[in-house]
């Protein structure tokens, strides 16, 4: 599995933990890898000012195994960016498309979630509006549900913030089996957190 991680201005840095999980997973599953992609090769500024260098551009990325779209305060701008939406739409027919946190809002804007169940970030600081509620309000063609992960086969959406780790573990489990994913969870010292998250939030396997 090769994870292609989409970068845009305003990504929440904690969502980069998804890359960290894949990096550590190579100790258990040597064939997994990752790359980052953005509209250009210029450094991409995260929401806290951290800058990340993309590996390739949208134009250079002709195929993807798994395209992961992260969340963060930059999602409203990204969801209006024609280049980003066109890139997701171009990858969707062949790649597994996976969002974490408010990355689901970008997928919804691209039409990738139409007719599907999906989840996104739920918890906020008042008076902020929950992105899960916003997803349902803005995109009635998407069935928004509170979940750890919603897996519709070609499209997978994960919950908010640190739950990006659980989304990657789900991807690894679906590709390489539960035992391999559990071993990755163990070596990143996340076994108990992953178990607790699965107990409090469902993993929804939904047919389209």
Give, for all 208 residues of the chain, the pLDDT tens digit.
Answer: 999 999 999 999 999 999 999 999 999 999 999 999 999 999 999 999 999 999 999 999 999 999 999 999 999 999 999 999 999 999 999 999 999 999 999 999 999 999 999 999 999 999 999 999 999 999 999 999 999 999 999 999 999 999 999 999 999 999 999 999 999 999 999 999 999 999 999 999 977 7
Question: Does the bond joining 37 to the residue before it have cis omega, within 30 degrees of 0?
Answer: no
Q: Domain limits of the chain? A: 2-205
Alpha-carbon gap, residue 25 to 16, rounded angstroms: 14
Angle in degrees, 0-180, between the axes of helices 17-25 and 164-176, rounded to the nearest 10: 30
Sequence-distant (6+) residues with CB within 8 A of 9 are 44, 45, 74, 77, 78
Select 2-205's CATH number: 3.30.70.270, 3.30.70.3150, 3.40.50.880, 3.40.640.10.
3.40.50.880
Tell me the pTM. Answer: 0.97
Of the candidates 88, 132, 130, 128, which has an alpha carbon nearest to the alpha carbon of residue 109?
88
Partners of 45 in beta bridges: 51
Strands 44-45 vs 66-69: parallel, antiparallel or unpaired: unpaired
């Amino acid at each position: 599995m090769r994870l292609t991680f989409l970068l845009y201005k305003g990504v929440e840095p904690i969502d980069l933990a998804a890359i960290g999980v894949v990096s550590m997973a190579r100790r258990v599953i040597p064939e997994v890898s990752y790359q980052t992609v953005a509209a250009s090769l210029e450094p991409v500024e995260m929401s806290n000012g951290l800058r990340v260098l993309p590996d390739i551009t949208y134009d250079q990325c002709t195929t993807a195994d798994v395209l992961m779209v992260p969340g963060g305060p930059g999602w409203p701008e990204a969801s209006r960016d024609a280049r980003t939406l066109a890139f997701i739409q171009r990858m969707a027919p062949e790649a597994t498309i996976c969002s974490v946190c408010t990355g689901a809002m970008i997928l919804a804007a691209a039409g990738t979630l139409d007719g599907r169940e999906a989840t996104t970030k739920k918890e906020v600081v008042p008076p902020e509006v929950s992105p899960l509620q916003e997803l349902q309000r803005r995109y009635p063609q998407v069935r928004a549900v509170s979940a750890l992960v919603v897996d519709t086969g070609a499209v997978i959406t994960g919950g908010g913030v640190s739950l990006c780790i659980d989304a990657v573990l789900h991807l690894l489990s679906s590709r390489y089996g539960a035992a391999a994913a559990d071993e990755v969870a163990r070596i990143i010292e996340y076994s108990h957190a992953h178990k607790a998250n699965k107990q409090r939030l469902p993993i929804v396997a939904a047919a389209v």
